[in-house]
Amino acid sequence: MRINVRKDLETINLLQTKTKDEIFTIRCNKLGLTKREIEICELVREGHIYKDIADTLFISERTVNKHMQNIFKKAESNNKFDLLNKITKNVKTA
């Protein structure tokens, strides 16, 4: 119970002192995502498809897919919706 209270206080503090983009990056870092994986997550969050992400980052679509597999594993997610829900939950957009 005490651990949950601490997590709740950390979440409240986080939400009160950071922008939604900062919170997104902090949560990605807590998952252990690499800089490239965070870039890919940001593009996924913006609604880009893997082909567009590949073109934007000058990598193959297959590489994007592999990065996404690694991201899903680290986040313990099965799909993009679940992943983004975990990373952006409780973040109010302006």
Q: pLDDT, tens digit, for every residue of 8-62?
A: 656 666 556 678 888 888 899 999 999 999 999 999 999 999 999 999 999 999 9
In the block, tokens 């975990």 appear at 86
Among 24, 94, 59, which Cα is nearest to 68's?
59
In the block, tokens 């651990």 appear at 3
pTM of structure: 0.77
| Residue 36: predicted pLDDT | 97
